[in-house]
Structure 1
Amino acid sequence: MRALWRVVAIIVAAAVGAVLLPIAINFATDQPLPLWLEPYQSWSWPAVAVLGSLAVILGFTAARGPATRPAVTGKVRPGARERALENVHEQVARQLTIKLGDIARADIRAERRPDAVSPVLSAQVRRLNAPEGATSTTVRHAFEDSGCSLLLLGQPGAGKTTQLLELAADLLGEARDCAGPVPVLIDLGGWGRDRPLLPFLKRERTVDSLREWLLGRAQESYGVGTRIGRTWLDKGELALLLDGLDEVADEVRPELVGLLNELSDAHGDLVLVVASRIAEYERCPPLQLAAASAILPLGREQVSAYLAGAGSEFADLGRALDADESLWEVVDSPFWLHVLASVARAPGVGGLAETAQPSERRRRILDAYVAQALRRPRPELGCYAPEQVLRWLGQFARSARHLGWTTVISPQVMPSVFKGTVPAGFIAALLPTLGVALPVASVLQAGAMLATRFGALSTVALAPLPATVAAILVAKWAVGGHIRWPFDRRSWIVGTLAALPLAAAGYALQTMMADPPLFPDSPNFSLALLIGFTSAFLPMVTLGAVGALINFWTADSTDEEIRIGLSMSFLGAGAVGVVCLPLAVFGVLPWTGPFLAGFAGVWIGTALAGGVGILSGNGVIGAWLPVAVLIAARLLPVRANRFCRFAAATGLLIPAGYTRTAYRFPHMIFVDYFADHG
């Protein structure tokens, strides 16, 4: 794809620089030109500037080679490694002392899963005496046997993150004692979630961009500068422990796996461990790591031995297991061992034997855990109804799941993270009306303004142009399941009536911008440019704002979206023809007009309105509109920071450690629970 783009850039640069630019220069210096270009004399110097810049940009793009990672120069300052080890130690120790991640230290075992990875045999030295089959071992031994290149799999709550933290603690000791690599634990959940304001602005993801993203996360979490991290990575002095591959969005997870394979291949001595849930990993290509292990569920003997060694702290859980045999099916991981121990005497846990589905048992246990947690906070932190707490935590959880992490971001700190998280049902009733009103408003304004100057036939051809872009974006709603196509009669009637004030607002905007004209020597082009811009601007602003409420952006338009969009455009052209052609027959309107100037102006104006309008709606209005809607719907608290302190006192949120206002959910299981039930 890059090679094709370079060829296209070379051809276009040659055409612009060798043909169009000289013509424009001659035009600007009053040299003789064809007669059909004479009316556009006022365009000469703008054309020279635009074409000259285009030639330079395309020439530079065509001449430069493929992007390469800059060479690392300079030396790392003395003491940097010791400071990095201390920072990592503080973060790892803090996370290991969090109650949910540390209290249940059962004997975790793992079994080998050689079929889960596809190692490049030519790039490694295998152990000839390695045991075959699904041999039970510890995660630490599995890491050593793999040659420091391991895939760690497990069910939800199996203890993958805790095992990575303990492995990081072991590697920290080795780094201090024998100058081993500096371990950094990085959550992959946020990778690939960034979306451009416009789909065509999406940048291609490469192994270099992944490397820089990982180094950026290491800088945020551990203070390791990206240049220093790059130096250590190139020298094999950085160990990457990557958690949460399953939290990466399904549509980009295979791409991330491919980039991780490239990263591992580019750094042959890289210490790399990747953790993921089993079900999500099975839906993507295999990683090219040396080995894979899966954490085994806790058996009855392991749980009994753990309870016997835990003393009185888990006595209630032991009695609950003796009284209800069905609870043994739930206590199969450290997470559920701790949660059930916390609510062993809660009334909502009893009688689980009557519930056949394990998922329902776990839900009832979490219900009891949350109910018990809400009785913990101190009165001075505020008083909130349980239903209100669940509703607000549910919205925070939906935002966290949308971004692929467990972190809670306050809307007072960063409101943009709530883009695309407004429940579709809140604006579902408005979408069919807007789907009709936005293209119809564009057609009404463009048709009314074009008819008198450009003639009936030109109006029929040009008026649907501004509406076509809006119609294709509206078609994304239909393909995404937000609205039904074709629209029903009520949507057409209400949407057409709603289009009248939109068209009037567009006309008012056109009147404000009409004086003075943009190009006095080309009044037809100037008018068409203004009509194209003003008839498309307000619909595009509205579409951008709606895109901030419900995420319907895709990188490319599908055939179905284009078909629906063109169908709506043809309907608009037919409606304009029904009005304009009879008026031309009776002599009220001329049949033809300056079509070329009209086409160029309307097309350029529509393109400008599309970019400026969507950027304004999605970037400016969309930065605060979702939060305003969620607060108005009572899905977010007005005083979010105070509520987060309250939730942290309950244990349902825990400090993230980055800033005083940063919190996160204790586990991804809680994110799923609150997002589905909050």
Structure 2
Amino acid sequence: MKKQRARAALAATGALAAVILGVTTNAVSEKLPSELTENSPLVWVLFAAAATACLGIAIWQFGAPLDDGPTGYKASARRIHRQLMIQRQRIIWIDGALAHSLETISKIELGIENKPDAVQRPWTFVLREGGSFPQKIDVQKSISEIFDQTGGSLLILGHPGSGKTTLLLELTKELLDRAESDSELPIPVVFNLSTWGRSQKAFEQWLEDELLRRYTVPRKVAREWLSNDLILPLLDGLDEVRIDRRAQCVSVINRFTDSRGLSQIAVCSRLVDYDEIGSRLKLNSAVAILPIPPDRIGAYLESAGDQLEALRGAVEEDHQLRELLTTPLMLVVATLAYQHGSTAALRTRMAGGDRRTHLIESYIQRALDRPSSYGEYASKDVLRWLGVLAHQMLKHDQTVYHVEWMQPTWLTGKPLRALANWTFPVLLASAVFLITGYTIDYVNELGAQLFKKSNEVAIGGISSGWLTGLAIGLLVLIFGLDHQIRPAETIAWSTQALRANARRQLRSGLITGTIIASAVGAIMQVWGLPTLIFFFVMFELICVTFYLFVGGVSPALRDLHTIPNEGIRRSLRNALLVGLPGGVLVGIVTGYAFGSVMTLQFGLIDGAVAGGSVFLLTALHAGGRAWFHHMALRLALRLSDQIPLRWVRFLQYATGNYLLQRIGGGYIFVHRVFLEYFAQMHSSADTGTPAPEGREKAIDGSGQ
């Protein structure tokens, strides 16, 4: 039935379009039949009715509900999306985060113990061998084997720097290998729970949003994956959820697991923070990472030889320092910070004060002393800029920082935000207004001299040229304004997106077309009614076609970012790729139309104005707006001294000096402990910028 309706609508629309085209063509050549010209008012009423009917049928057809068919998207697309997602998880979390984590560098085997009381088990989970007595989980096995023993329902606990996330990523690696070899298994996907605390959505809706936002999975694909249990959630950072929302987060996870039955899931959290929540996750089992015993700390330092002799001596003498090094993170930080140091100097530096803070600061100072191929920066500037980055990452619940994700909310104070939001749209709209207004006025004066026909129409003392410039300038201002930066990284056109957006796009096209066509009609009215009608209909159709084309743009699973700020670069590229063909096509059509009525010179000038306007509006919509806004934001942040002018170069500098770690096209701090340290330092230095509530943790000397 829907196919028959579509064919009927297409035929009716084509027939009416042919009528419109024939009438306008004859009108401009003044070859209309006498029967029509003698009753011109009635003719134009019928003409307008036919055009309205044509557009109405298009609205009816495009606005009809979309029937995807019984099979959804094609099997080949399913395979491609699955392969891309597995590849994405491997590049981000295995080749990126796991391979370069500080805990991995230590290569110390982690001790694990059972924590059965940490979870509210739906049933008492036991493993039976041969139908005999129940056994506990064998913690001597690998994390993937433990996960299998628990039936794929596990909570991983530990102190800061103990290697919780590293253990979760080792599990991710094994599960990715399995999913790659068996297409029936779900795709393991790492999610950071901190972003749930900001949205507080239903858990499945949050997962869907994260797949779209973090991994650029089209919403339709994400929804199908989740509804068919094709995603295995690996949830990191329960302790990173705001304190007042952690209990609620536990509740929504429990509701999710209750509704999913035997679906697999793993959750990771700091031990102390989890115990403070009070409520328990409904999982099959829990394990906790044990501190490194003193004998293994000594063996590890001994294996490094003379370069850690001073640190070995300090550990033997200082009980507090020895307790601090019971986590893989602090052990590696100490070895990197105190290489080739003297025992006396280390003893003096450790005397009094907070050893944990001193250890972190010593690591940072050693990192800043390293030479870099990305230039030299003053230490105070590096600390300030990293403090800003850490504060903003906590504020915006970002585990991985991408340059293209920066928003005007990075700015403090309304004046700076207004500068970032309004600067480029106002400047661009003003330039378009001046250039267009002057050009059209010049063309009108030239036409009056050549053809002895004055095109000049004034409203309120403002000429038609400047009125047209004002109309186009206002459109540029509207297209350029956006309070959020939304990179247009992928341009994919689909009939599904067109059907979904048709009503809105047709309405916008008709409004825009009427504004522009009326301005052109005011100029061309001296050439007679047929010519006026021709140009009015032409510009109306151009605008409607433009908006319908833009409405068909839909997101697609794009390639993984491997270059910093790649999203903004792609936005600029897509703006040019989409804007140029449309601008050139409209410029040629408009230039030919004006040139055939007037002269070649008029055709060139008017074609340039029309084509340039379409190019600008299309490019803004297809990514140019995001590029301009991003650059304006970077400029405002530089003026407020929150980031350096060459921000990406600085991030590369911090990465090369082992303060940041690059993952694909994004960055993370080498460990969350350092993110919290820099964020707290920023909040202490800038009393006007309080720390995000419940997120930044004190850096104390407990090692916990």
Q: TM-score, normalised by structure 1?
A: 0.51
SS of residue matched to 2:242: coil
Whichever residue aligns with residue 86 of structure 2, its letter is L
Match of 1:372 among 358, 366, 370: 366
Match of 1:110 among 112, 120, 123: 112
Task: Give me the whole-angstrom Cα distance separating, in 1, the residues matched to 2:383 and 2:346.
Answer: 19
**2:121 corresponds to 1:146:** no
For 1:562-577, list aligned pairs within 5 A: none
**2:420 corresponds to 1:391:** no
For 1:183-198, list aligned pairs within 5 A: 183-193=188-198
SS of residue matched to 2:190: strand
Report the CA distance shift for 1:169/1:176 in structure 2 as closer, same or farther (over 3 A). same
Whichever residue aligns with residue 175 of structure 2, its letter is L
Match of 1:175 among 162, 171, 179: 179
- The match for 1:210 is 206
Residues 399, 421 of structure 1: 8 Å contact kept: no
- The match for 2:407 is 415
Task: Give me the whole-angstrom Cα distance separating, in 1, the residues matched to 2:351 and 2:170.
Answer: 38
Task: Give me the whole-angstrom Cα distance separating, in 2, the residues matched to 1:71 and 1:146.
Answer: 36
For 1:311-350, list aligned pairs within 5 A: 317-318=311-312, 320-322=314-316, 324-345=318-339, 346=341, 349-350=346-347
Whichever residue aligns with residue 171 of structure 1, its letter is L
Structure 1 residue 644, shift from structure 2 partner: 1.7
Report the CA distance shift for 1:132/1:232 in structure 2 as closer, same or farther (over 3 A). same
Structure 1 residue 420, shift from structure 2 partner: 6.6
Task: Give me the whole-angstrom Cα distance separating, in 1, the residues matched to 2:133 and 2:95.
Answer: 36
- The match for 1:651 is 658
Structure 1 residue 646, shift from structure 2 partner: 2.1
**2:283 corresponds to 1:289:** yes
For 1:329-478, list aligned pairs within 5 A: 329-345=323-339, 346=341, 349-351=346-348, 354-355=351-352, 360-378=354-372, 381-410=374-403, 414-418=406-410
Report the CA distance shift for 1:326/1:283 in structure 2 as closer, same or farther (over 3 A). closer
CA displacement, residues 463-492 of structure 1 (integer Å, 9 cap, x when unaligned): xxxxxxxxxxxxxxxxxxxxxxxxxxxxxx
Task: Give me the whole-angstrom Cα distance separating, in 2, the residues matched to 1:148 and 1:251.
Answer: 29
Task: Give me the whole-angstrom Cα distance separating, in 2, the residues matched to 1:634 and 1:314.
Answer: 39
Match of 2:265 among 262, 272, 276: 272
Task: Give me the whole-angstrom Cα distance separating, in 2, the residues matched to 1:72 and 1:387.
Answer: 59
Structure 1 residue 313, shift from structure 2 partner: 7.9
For 1:521-560, list aligned pairs within 5 A: none
Structure 1 residue 344, shift from structure 2 partner: 1.9
Report the CA distance shift for 1:175/1:376 in structure 2 as closer, same or farther (over 3 A). same
Task: Give me the whole-angstrom Cα distance separating, in 1, the residues matched to 2:331 and 2:213.
Answer: 31
- The match for 2:20 is none
- The match for 1:673 is 677
Structure 1 residue 326, shift from structure 2 partner: 4.1
Q: Percent identity?
A: 30
Residues 152, 160 of structure 1: 8 Å contact kept: yes
Structure 1 residue 342, shift from structure 2 partner: 0.2
**2:659 corresponds to 1:663:** no
Residues 333, 360 of structure 2: 8 Å contact kept: yes
Query: Number of paired residues?
Result: 389
**2:635 corresponds to 1:639:** no
CA displacement, residues 198-223 of structure 1 (integer Å, 9 cap, x when unaligned): xxxxxx72233223134335634xxx
Task: Give me the whole-angstrom Cα distance separating, in 1, the residues matched to 2:662 and 2:84.
Answer: 23
RMSD of aligned C-alpha atoms? 3.7
Task: Give me the whole-angstrom Cα distance separating, in 2, the residues matched to 1:217 and 1:269.
Answer: 27
Task: Give me the whole-angstrom Cα distance separating, in 2, the residues matched to 1:633 and 1:225.
Answer: 37
Report the CA distance shift for 1:644/1:386 in structure 2 as closer, same or farther (over 3 A). same
Residues 181, 237 of structure 1: 8 Å contact kept: yes
Task: Give me the whole-angstrom Cα distance separating, in 2, the residues matched to 1:331 and 1:119.
Answer: 34
Task: Give me the whole-angstrom Cα distance separating, in 1, the residues matched to 2:413 and 2:265.
Answer: 34
Whichever residue aligns with residue 114 of structure 1, its letter is P
Structure 1 residue 149, shift from structure 2 partner: 0.4
Residues 418, 627 of structure 1: 8 Å contact kept: no
Report the CA distance shift for 1:132/1:72 in structure 2 as closer, same or farther (over 3 A). same
Task: Give me the whole-angstrom Cα distance separating, in 2, the residues matched to 1:129 and 1:671.
Answer: 47
- The match for 1:243 is 236
Structure 1 residue 372, shift from structure 2 partner: 0.9
Task: Give me the whole-angstrom Cα distance separating, in 1, the residues matched to 2:142 and 2:223.
Answer: 31
Structure 1 residue 276, shift from structure 2 partner: 0.7
Whichever residue aligns with residue 270 of structure 1, its letter is S
Task: Give me the whole-angstrom Cα distance separating, in 2, the residues matched to 1:102 and 1:226.
Answer: 35
Report the CA distance shift for 1:652/1:237 in structure 2 as closer, same or farther (over 3 A). same
Structure 1 residue 226, shift from structure 2 partner: 4.4
SS of residue matched to 2:191: strand
Task: Give me the whole-angstrom Cα distance separating, in 2, the residues matched to 1:208 and 1:174.
Answer: 24
For 1:210-229, list aligned pairs within 5 A: 210-216=206-212, 219-220=215-216, 224-229=217-222
**2:284 corresponds to 1:299:** no
- The match for 2:169 is 165
Task: Give me the whole-angstrom Cα distance separating, in 1, the residues matched to 2:186 and 2:303.
Answer: 35
Task: Give me the whole-angstrom Cα distance separating, in 2, the residues matched to 1:71 and 1:403.
Answer: 40
CA displacement, residues 604-632 of structure 1 (integer Å, 9 cap, x when unaligned): xxxxxxxxxxxxxxxxxx99999888655
Task: Give me the whole-angstrom Cα distance separating, in 2, the residues matched to 1:74 and 1:627.
Answer: 40
Task: Give me the whole-angstrom Cα distance separating, in 2, the residues matched to 1:72 and 1:419.
Answer: 47
- The match for 1:551 is none
Report the CA distance shift for 1:114/1:75 in structure 2 as closer, same or farther (over 3 A). farther
Structure 1 residue 667, shift from structure 2 partner: 1.1
> Where does the alignment leave 5 or more consecutive residues of structure 1 unmatched?
1-69, 195-203, 423-621
Structure 1 residue 262, shift from structure 2 partner: 1.7
Match of 1:255 among 227, 244, 248: 248
Structure 1 residue 75, shift from structure 2 partner: 4.9
- The match for 1:86 is 87
Structure 1 residue 648, shift from structure 2 partner: 1.9
Whichever residue aligns with residue 160 of structure 1, its letter is K
Structure 1 residue 282, shift from structure 2 partner: 2.4
SS of residue matched to 1:240: strand
Task: Give me the whole-angstrom Cα distance separating, in 2, the residues matched to 1:304 and 1:137.
Answer: 25
Residues 104, 338 of structure 1: 8 Å contact kept: yes
Residues 107, 302 of structure 1: 8 Å contact kept: no
Report the CA distance shift for 1:310/1:72 in structure 2 as closer, same or farther (over 3 A). farther
Whichever residue aligns with residue 209 of structure 1, its letter is Q
CA displacement, residues 411-465 of structure 1 (integer Å, 9 cap, x when unaligned): x86232425799xxxxxxxxxxxxxxxxxxxxxxxxxxxxxxxxxxxxxxxxxxx
- The match for 2:432 is none
Task: Give me the whole-angstrom Cα distance separating, in 2, the residues matched to 1:421 and 1:277.
Answer: 35
Whichever residue aligns with residue 375 of structure 1, its letter is D
> Where does the alignment leave 5 or more consecutive residues of structure 2 unmatched?
1-68, 415-628, 683-704
SS of residue matched to 1:646: helix
Structure 1 residue 672, shift from structure 2 partner: 1.1
Structure 1 residue 349, shift from structure 2 partner: 4.3
Report the CA distance shift for 1:421/1:299 in structure 2 as closer, same or farther (over 3 A). farther
SS of residue matched to 1:293: strand
Structure 1 residue 121, shift from structure 2 partner: 2.4
Whichever residue aligns with residue 671 of structure 1, its letter is L
Task: Give me the whole-angstrom Cα distance separating, in 2, the residues matched to 1:673 and 1:352.
Answer: 20
SS of residue matched to 1:190: helix
